[in-house]
Structure 1
Amino acid sequence: MTDSIGLYGSGLDESRQEAALLNGEVPVAVYGLGKMGLPLAGVYAELTGNVTGADVDPGVVASVTRGECHVDGEPGLAELVEETVGKGALRAVDDPAAAADGARLHVVIVPTLITDEGQADLTIVESVVEDIAAGLQEGDLVVIESTVPPRTCEDVVVPRLAAESGLDRGEFGVAFCPERTESGRALRDIRGSWPKVVGGVDSESTRAAALVYDQVTDNDVIRASDATTAESVKVFEGVYRDVNIALANELATYTDALGIDVREAIAVANTVDESDILRPGPGVGGHCIPYYPYFLFGEFDVESPLLRTAREVNDEMPAFVVGKLASLLADRGRSLDDATVLVLGGTYRAGVAETRASPAIGVTETLAANGAAVDIVDPMLDSFDEFDATPVEMTDSYQTAYDGIVLVTAHATFEAFDWAAFDDPIVVDTRAVLDPDAIAHDIYPIGGRGDVDIAAQTRSPPAADSPADTAATDGGED
Structure 2
Amino acid sequence: MSTIYNSETPEHARADAFTGGDVPVAVYGLGKMGLPLAAVYADVCSNVTGVDVDPDVVDAVQAGECPVSGEPGLPALVGETVEEGALRATTDIDAAAADAKIHVAIVPTLVDERNNPDLSILQRLLEKVGPGLDAGDVVFIESTVPPGSCRDELLPVLEATSGLTRGEFGLAFCPERTSSGRAIEDIMQSYPKVVGGIDPASTEAARIVYEQLNQQGVIPVDNATTAETVKITEGVYRDVNIALANELAALADPLPVDFNEVADAANTIPFINVHQPGAGVGGHCIPYYPYFLINWLDTEFPLLQTARDVNDSMPDFTVDALHSQFEAIGRDIGAARVLVLGVAYRGNVAETRAAPAKPILKRLSREAGELFVTDPVIDDLSAFAGTEIELSEIETEQFDAIVLVTHHEEFNSINWDGFDPLVVVNGRPSATIDSTKHRVYTIGSGLQARGEL
Q: TM-score range by the shorter chain?
A: over 0.9
Tell me whether 1:160 sits opposite 2:157 in the alignment.
yes
Aligned residue in 1 for 2:341: 344
Tell me whether 1:398 sits opposite 2:395 in the alignment.
yes
Aligned residue in 2 for 1:216: 213
Q: Alpha-carbon deviation of 1:437?
A: 5.7
Give me the whole-angstrom Cα distance separating, in 2, the residues matched to 1:267 and 1:362.
29
Tell me whether 1:302 sits opposite 2:299 in the alignment.
yes
Pick from 132, 137, 140 the counterpart of residue 143 of structure 1: 140
Aligned residue in 2 for 1:355: 352
Pick from 11, 36, 39 the counterpart of residue 39 of structure 1: 36
Q: Alpha-carbon deviation of 1:334?
A: 2.2
The answer to whether the 8 A contact 1:343-1:405 is kept is yes
> Percent of aligned pairs with the same residue?
52
Q: Alpha-carbon deviation of 1:381?
A: 1.2
Task: Describe the shift of the 1:450–1:317 C-alpha distance in structure 2 as closer, same or farther (beyond 3 A).
Answer: same
Number of aligned residue pairs: 450
SS of alignment partner, residue 235 of structure 2: helix
| Matched letter for residue 258 of structure 1 | L
Task: Describe the shift of the 1:209–1:435 C-alpha distance in structure 2 as closer, same or farther (beyond 3 A).
Answer: closer
Q: Deviations over 1:47-78 (max 9, x none)?
A: 11110000000000000000000111111110
Q: Deviations over 1:108-139 (max 9, x none)?
A: 10010110111111111011111110100000
Tell me whether 1:76 sits opposite 2:76 in the alignment.
no
Written as runs of structure 1 = structure 2, the 5 A alignment for 1:200-349 is 200-349=197-346
Q: Alpha-carbon deviation of 1:433?
A: 4.4
Task: Describe the shift of the 1:437–1:168 C-alpha distance in structure 2 as closer, same or farther (beyond 3 A).
Answer: closer
Q: Alpha-carbon deviation of 1:351?
A: 1.0
SS of alignment partner, residue 257 of structure 1: coil
Aligned residue in 2 for 1:184: 181
Task: Describe the shift of the 1:51–1:119 C-alpha distance in structure 2 as closer, same or farther (beyond 3 A).
Answer: same
Give me the whole-angstrom Cα distance separating, in 2, the residues matched to 1:107 and 1:402.
50
Task: Describe the shift of the 1:338–1:187 C-alpha distance in structure 2 as closer, same or farther (beyond 3 A).
Answer: same
Q: Deviations over 1:425-462 (max 9, x none)?
A: 20001113455664421101110146579xxxxxxxxx
Task: Describe the shift of the 1:452–1:418 C-alpha distance in structure 2 as closer, same or farther (beyond 3 A).
Answer: closer
Unaligned runs of 5+ in 1: 454-478
RMSD: 1.5
Tell me whether 1:415 sits opposite 2:412 in the alignment.
yes
Give me the whole-angstrom Cα distance separating, in 1, the residues matched to 2:7 and 2:168.
10
Aligned residue in 2 for 1:429: 426
Give me the whole-angstrom Cα distance separating, in 1, the residues matched to 2:438 and 2:431.
11
Question: After the TM superposition, which of the residue ranges 329-338 and 213-222 deviates more from structure 2?
Answer: 329-338
Aligned residue in 2 for 1:466: none
SS of alignment partner, residue 26 of structure 2: strand
SS of alignment partner, residue 43 of structure 1: helix
| Matched letter for residue 76 of structure 1 | G
SS of alignment partner, residue 338 of structure 2: strand
Q: Alpha-carbon deviation of 1:340?
A: 1.4
Aligned residue in 2 for 1:467: none
Written as runs of structure 1 = structure 2, the 5 A alignment for 1:423-462 is 423-433=420-430, 435=432, 438-449=435-446
Task: Describe the shift of the 1:66–1:298 C-alpha distance in structure 2 as closer, same or farther (beyond 3 A).
Answer: same
Aligned residue in 1 for 2:119: 122
Pick from 364, 382, 389 the counterpart of residue 367 of structure 1: 364
Tell me whether 1:385 sits opposite 2:382 in the alignment.
yes
Give me the whole-angstrom Cα distance separating, in 1, the residues matched to 2:254 and 2:294.
33
Aligned residue in 1 for 2:193: 196
Give me the whole-angstrom Cα distance separating, in 1, the residues matched to 2:46 and 2:102.
13
Question: After the TM superposition, which of the residue ranges 197-206 and 437-446 deviates more from structure 2?
Answer: 437-446
Question: After the TM superposition, which of the residue ranges 423-432 and 188-197 deviates more from structure 2?
Answer: 423-432
Pick from 15, 20, 24 the counterpart of residue 18 of structure 1: 15
Question: After the TM superposition, which of the residue ranges 266-275 and 177-186 deviates more from structure 2?
Answer: 266-275
Aligned residue in 2 for 1:464: none
Q: Alpha-carbon deviation of 1:106?
A: 0.4
SS of alignment partner, residue 101 of structure 1: helix
| Matched letter for residue 36 of structure 2 | P
The answer to whether the 8 A contact 2:400-2:420 is kept is no
Give me the whole-angstrom Cα distance separating, in 2, the residues matched to 1:429 and 1:26.
52
Q: TM-score, normalised by structure 2?
A: 0.96
Q: TM-score, normalised by structure 1?
A: 0.92
Task: Describe the shift of the 1:436–1:123 C-alpha distance in structure 2 as closer, same or farther (beyond 3 A).
Answer: closer
Give me the whole-angstrom Cα distance separating, in 2, the residues matched to 1:65 and 1:45.
13
Q: Alpha-carbon deviation of 1:417?
A: 1.2
Task: Describe the shift of the 1:419–1:452 C-alpha distance in structure 2 as closer, same or farther (beyond 3 A).
Answer: closer
The answer to whether the 8 A contact 2:340-2:372 is kept is yes
Give me the whole-angstrom Cα distance separating, in 1, the residues matched to 2:271 and 2:22.
49
Give me the whole-angstrom Cα distance separating, in 1, the residues matched to 2:402 and 2:367.
16
Q: Alpha-carbon deviation of 1:410?
A: 1.5
Q: Alpha-carbon deviation of 1:9?
A: 2.7
